[in-house]
Amino acid sequence: MKSTPFFLSLILLLTSWGLRAQELQATVTINTEQLQLDQQRGSNQIYPELQRTMQDFLNGRRWSNDNFAPEEKIKVNINLLLTKATSQGDFEANARVQVLRPVFGTSYETIVLNIIDKNFNFKYLLGMPLTYNDNSYIENLGAMLAYYAYLACAYQYDSFGKMGGDVFTQRLFNLTNLAQTSGTGWGIVSDVRSRVAISESLMNQQLQGIREVNYTYHRLLLDTYKDQPDETRKGILELLNQIRQINQIRPGAASIRIFFDAKADEIFSIMDEASPSERQQAFAYLSLLDPIRTETYRKLIR
C-alpha cells in the first residue's frame, strides 16, 4: 500500500496504543415503515436481531492488517429501508451507506461516501449467523456487508494516502467477481452506481485520477481549509478541471458520480464564499460534471 508521510504517521499513531480495535465503527438502523402490516406481524423479534447481527458483523471482524485505536475507527452508517419481507426470511431493501472522515484540526466530519443501494436483497431468519470468506461466495447479506466494509476502507485509506486503498479495491473487485455468479443484485450493469460498476470503476486505469482527487481533496485541501481557505478554493477549481478531463474519457463513470454524491453540498458551501469569478468558474464545472444538481449550483452565480 502506497503511503504519504502523514499516512505513515497516522498508522504509527494507531498502532502505538495498548488497546487495539477493529477498523469500523458501524451503526446500522432499520426502517420498516414501508412494509405491509401483515409482513411485520409476528416478526417483532427479527428486526432488532437483524440490526444487532449486521452491526456486530461489521464491527467485530478485521478488514485489514492495521490496528486502530477506538477513537480512530472509520465511522460507517447504514440505514436499511425494508420494502418487502416474507415469512420465509426473504427481504428486499434500499440501503443508504455513509462513511465519515475527520477533518484535521477541527471537530468537523466530512462525508466520504454517500451511496444508496437499491438492490440490497437478502435472506435472514432468526438466529442465522452471517458468514463471509474472501475466497468464496457463501450468502448475500454477509457478502454485501463485506463489500461496503471494504469500500469504506478503500475510500478512507485513499483520503489519507495517495492510492492508499489499493488492497481494498482489489478485494472489492475479487468479491464482485465471485458474487456475480451466485448472488442477487450483483450483475446489474445498467445502474452506474451498482456494486459491480463501482468496483470496476475503482480498478479502471482511465479512472485512477479520481482516486488521486480523493486524496488531494481531503488531505491537501480540506485538511488545510481552516487555515488556508483561499488556497483551498483555488485547489478545488483545479481538481474540478482534472475531473472534467477524466470525464471526457469516461463520461459519467461510477467513481465520478459517487464523488459528487458525497461532496456536492460541501463543495457548494466552500465555493459560495469565493470571489465572483471563482463562483462562475465553479458553476461551469459543477453543472457540467454533476448536471442533476445544476439548480443548486446555480445559486453560486445569483
Confirm whether 198 is domain-assigned: no
Confirm whether 218 is domain-assigned: yes
CA 168 – CA 295 distance, rounded (Å): 36
Amino acid, res. 297: Y
Partners of 144 in the beta sheet? none
CB 152 within 8 A of CB 113: yes
Q: What is the pLDDT of residue 208?
A: 97
Looking at the structure, tell me whether residues 9 and 66 fall in a common domain: yes
> What cell was used for 229?
481557505
Confirm whether 142 is domain-assigned: yes
Cα distances from 288 to residues 123, 234, 247, 297, in angstroms, run 41, 18, 10, 10
Q: What is the pLDDT of residue 4?
A: 46
Looking at the structure, tell me whether residues 119 and 225 fall in a common domain: no
Looking at the structure, tell me whether residues 151 and 225 fall in a common domain: no
Strands 74-85 vs 24-31: parallel, antiparallel or unpaired:
parallel
Domain of residue 108 covers: 5-163
Looking at the structure, tell me whether residues 19 and 104 fall in a common domain: yes
CA 113 – CA 77 distance, rounded (Å): 10
Q: Taking the model in full, what pTM does it have?
A: 0.91
DSSP symbol at 130: P
Looking at the structure, tell me whether residues 157 and 224 fall in a common domain: no
Amino acid, res. 280: Q
10 Å CB burial of residue 199 (0-12, 13-18, 19+) is buried
Give the number of domains in the chain. Answer: 2
pLDDT tens-place values along the chain, 302 residues long: 444 444 544 544 444 433 456 899 999 999 999 987 666 645 678 999 999 999 999 999 999 999 888 888 999 999 999 999 988 999 999 999 999 999 999 999 999 999 999 999 999 999 999 999 999 999 999 999 999 999 999 999 999 999 999 999 999 999 999 998 776 778 766 688 899 999 999 999 999 999 999 999 999 999 999 999 999 999 999 999 999 999 999 999 999 999 999 999 999 999 999 999 999 999 999 999 999 999 999 999 98
Q: What is the pLDDT of residue 38?
A: 60
Q: What is the pLDDT of residue 16?
A: 40
Scan for cell 479495491, then name that residue.
169
Looking at the structure, tell me whether residues 18 and 157 fall in a common domain: yes
Confirm whether 46 is domain-assigned: yes
Last residue of a domain, one of 163, 189, 204: 163
CA 64 – CA 244 distance, rounded (Å): 33
Looking at the structure, tell me whether residues 88 and 27 fall in a common domain: yes
Confirm whether 203 is domain-assigned: no
